[in-house]
Structure 1
Amino acid sequence: MFARRMLASLVVSIAALPAMLGGCEPTDRLPDLRVGELYGFSVQRTASGRALLRFGTIGFNVGAGPLEARGVRTDTDSGSMLVTQRIYDSEGGHRDRRTSAVMVYDTGDNHDHWHTRQFMTVTMYRLGNPTGNVYGLRKLGYCLLDAERMSNPPPNSPDTRQYPNGSCGNRSSTSVRTGLSIGYGDDYPPQYAHQWMDVNRLPLGTYRICATVDPFGDFVESRDDNNQRWADVRVNVRAGTVQVLDTAVGRCGPNVS
């Protein structure tokens, strides 16, 4: 009798095993966007004498999965693409979600490809007075691609670029597959178009520059409390100098006191 009960119990346990294993749902491998250090600050004078504060920006993905943004439009007459985020999971599958992001074809930076609009915003205000005047605001569109790999990337960062140059399409493209692999970032150097703020009438002083990646929450991430970085700079437009005093990842901006 005892042996029969043990056998019956064993049969029930084995029969329940597939159901137990089947209850393990795949988990999303989400991206985690972070702003790299702003760099290459300089005051540039244009031919007309206008003063521009130039700087470089880079948005890295330090998450457990890629940020993949797929753009699509119905035909070549449409000037924009709707954007879907593809999210990969722990079992090798994926799911797609429609975002509020928009891609536009941009020729203003001489790249002539599709950009995700307002992927990063940069503001500048007097240090210690975030609710005061905003002296500069830039809304930067990005073609998301693996331009640069981090020197110390997170685990599972691929050795080769998964979103290479050319991912952002051309004028005739009706769909594109762009993104940032784990441990990679898209770099926009100071000399690129739009990488500046007009400081022609900026008073001498110390300012906080606040950069925010994915400012409108278009993409799902594992966390979004690290999407901002600030840099404190002392700017003297007349002398044509800018000095970086400090920088860190942290909350900043006109709405942060």
Structure 2
Amino acid sequence: MTSRTRLLTAGAVTAAVALAGAGVGVASAAADPPPLAFTSAAPDVIAERYTWDEGAHLYLDLGINVIAGKDPFEIRATRKSYADPIDAQQYVVKNGKRKAVSLPAGMVTDWYGLKDFTTVSITNEAGTEVANYQTDFCPNSYNSARTRRDAPAETPYPQGCNGGNPFTLGAVWGIQAGWNGEVDSMPRRQELDLPDGKYKATVTLNQRYRDYFKIAADDSAITVGVTVTTAERDKRGAAVAEARIKAARAGEDTSEQAAVAEHGEHAGQGDPKLQISAYKPGFRPPAKAPKAVKASSIAKGPRPDLRSLPAWGISLSQEDEKWFVNFGATVWNAGTSPLLVDGFRRTGTELMDAYQYFFDAKGKEVGSVEAGTMEWDAREGHRHWHFTDFAQYNLLGSDQKLAVRSGKEAFCLANTDAVDYTIPSAKWRPDNTDLSSSCGQNTAVAVREVLDIGNGDTYTQERPGQSFEITDLPNGTYYIEVKANPADKLTELSTANNTALREIRLGGTPDARTLEVPSVHGLD
């Protein structure tokens, strides 16, 4: 089929989930928009091919979308523990009431969205198939927009499906009524490269989704013409392109701005023009540090609750004849209030006094207390203000006594990971999601750092000083300890859940160390 619009006709479930207008003339309000529309933006697209030292890769965007109708399309996925499978439910409107309906088994197996949503088949001018692969569907498109005049002005749903963190606990995926969700065009589980030339790409909804949404086979495929051309780009452009391709495979933001941030290592470092101000109108801290009070003197009310996830992304590396264990670590906020820390600069120094602020149930600020300090980190790859009392990483021996302490002792708070968006009051669209917009520049007189409800702050320990040196450690069992609020300077609901341990096993010889990382219930 070559039609650019396919309506997903209503089944028993989707009839209640009224999802969006039909593709042709979507800017005009539909009298009765269908529950879902499967559409393409254009009959033909250009796909740029990039080459660099490691090879060549194709960046492909076919412009295929799912559009929601008069009500939002929403899915919530949760798991009770790391040992339990993900349970996904679709929230539908039936007889004016909102109801949760469990999705069929196999549709959701990880945090990247609906698994194997479409099949993409690409043929060359001779009609020979040159590529065939599955794509997942993350409804939380970074470039989602309203597609008809009567659609709501804003969408509440998160950006991206954040599938990279293995210890995510809950996710919300959705498309606002009348808005679009972009269908992935590139495979997540394999590389894609095609020589320059003309092709046809046919995108087909897979059988399980045709059955679930009651879609006839003739109405479940879209064909788009594709012209592949090798782009002439400088080294920086190629690196940005590579970042976009990585993001596409990971279900993350594929915009060029996001790719520039990724390539800039800690988001835009090295090019001052790319750095974003830490402040926004209406979001400035007071002009000077407040008078210190005790947390106990502030009325009981909402509080953050910092929790640590097990270390992840663990690897072994060698540099200058030294051995290191590298790892990712996430601390997240499972509380009833955001963690909000303002720093106030001591004039003429590279040090700030930090204060934690508190809010009542209506969000009104009710007080603040001293919370340590912030310091300027001038190292390459950082160049922003670090809060010094957020977390601590330790390597413990088999007896769980300290063996090595990580050199990482200060942090720029940012909402990098959606850990559990199903908890009450979780902030689905946080403002500060990368380090360039969160932690200020050296000219700042004050800085605000925030960790919102349901969000985590992840640091990937990839550099010496931000990992454990294990050169002289004997072989054996060790534990990576991730500890939030190590000095108890932050006030939170509970400190009983601040620490997480992850077992590792060191082996080998001094010249060839080995690392074994047992999984956590099959994760990571």
TM-score category (smaller protein): 0.7 to 0.9
Partners of 2:361 and 2:405 in 1: how far apart? 39
Residue identity matched to 1:186? D
Say whether 1:125 aligns with 2:393. Answer: no
Match of 2:342 in 1: 70
Partners of 2:382 and 2:502 in 1: how far apart? 28
Say whether 1:188 aligns with 2:484. Answer: no
Which residue of 198, 203, 207 maps to 2:478?
207
Which residue of 54, 57, 62 maps to 2:326?
54
| Residue 237 of structure 1: how far off its partner (Å) | 5.2
Which residue of 360, 370, 383 maps to 1:112?
383
Partners of 2:326 and 2:368 in 1: how far apart? 36
Match of 2:303 in 1: 30
| Residue 247 of structure 1: how far off its partner (Å) | 5.7
| Residue 220 of structure 1: how far off its partner (Å) | 0.5
Match of 1:11 in 2: none
Match of 1:141 in 2: 410
| Residue 196 of structure 1: how far off its partner (Å) | 0.6
| Residue 151 of structure 1: how far off its partner (Å) | 4.8
* Secondary structure of the corresponding residue to residue 438 of structure 2: coil
| Residue 195 of structure 1: how far off its partner (Å) | 2.7
Partners of 2:383 and 2:422 in 1: how far apart? 30
Match of 2:360 in 1: 89
- CA, structure 1 residues 210+164, in 2 after alignment: closer, same or farther (shift >3 Å)? closer
Partners of 1:246 and 1:43 in 2: how far apart? 16
- CA, structure 1 residues 84+39, in 2 after alignment: closer, same or farther (shift >3 Å)? same
Partners of 2:497 and 2:382 in 1: how far apart? 29
Partners of 1:28 and 1:214 in 2: how far apart? 19
* 155-164 or 83-92, larger mean C-alpha shift: 155-164
* Secondary structure of the corresponding residue to residue 97 of structure 1: strand
RMSD: 2.2
Partners of 1:53 and 1:245 in 2: how far apart? 15
User: Higher relative contact order at CA 8 Å, sep ≥6: structure 1 or structure 2?
Assistant: 1
| Residue 113 of structure 1: how far off its partner (Å) | 0.6
Match of 1:242 in 2: 515
Structure-to-structure mapping, 1:97-108, within 5 angstroms: 97-108=368-379
| Residue 185 of structure 1: how far off its partner (Å) | 1.2
| Residue 98 of structure 1: how far off its partner (Å) | 2.6
Say whether 1:158 aligns with 2:427. Answer: yes
Partners of 2:520 and 2:355 in 1: how far apart? 33
| Residue 27 of structure 1: how far off its partner (Å) | 4.9
Partners of 1:172 and 1:74 in 2: how far apart? 12
- CA, structure 1 residues 204+72, in 2 after alignment: closer, same or farther (shift >3 Å)? same
Normalization by structure 1: what TM-score?
0.78
Partners of 1:204 and 1:117 in 2: how far apart? 32
Match of 1:44 in 2: 317
Contact map agreement 2:309 2:482 (CA 8 A) in 1:
no
Residue identity matched to 1:146? N
- CA, structure 1 residues 240+33, in 2 after alignment: closer, same or farther (shift >3 Å)? same
Residue identity matched to 1:125? L
What per-residue deviation string (whole Å, max 9, x for no partner) do you get for residues 120-152 of structure 1?
Answer: 11222321x234xx3210243111111111255
- CA, structure 1 residues 202+60, in 2 after alignment: closer, same or farther (shift >3 Å)? same
Contact map agreement 1:122 1:137 (CA 8 A) in 2:
yes
Residue identity matched to 2:340? E
Partners of 1:244 and 1:109 in 2: how far apart? 30
Residue identity matched to 2:329? T
Partners of 2:516 and 2:422 in 1: how far apart? 29
Partners of 2:358 and 2:413 in 1: how far apart? 15
- CA, structure 1 residues 43+237, in 2 after alignment: closer, same or farther (shift >3 Å)? farther
Residue identity matched to 1:220? T
* Secondary structure of the corresponding residue to residue 159 of structure 1: coil
In the alignment, structure 2 segments of 5+ residues that lack a partner are 1-297
Normalization by structure 2: what TM-score?
0.40
Match of 2:445 in 1: 174
Partners of 2:464 and 2:377 in 1: how far apart? 11
| Residue 235 of structure 1: how far off its partner (Å) | 1.1
Aligned residues: 219
Higher strand share: 1
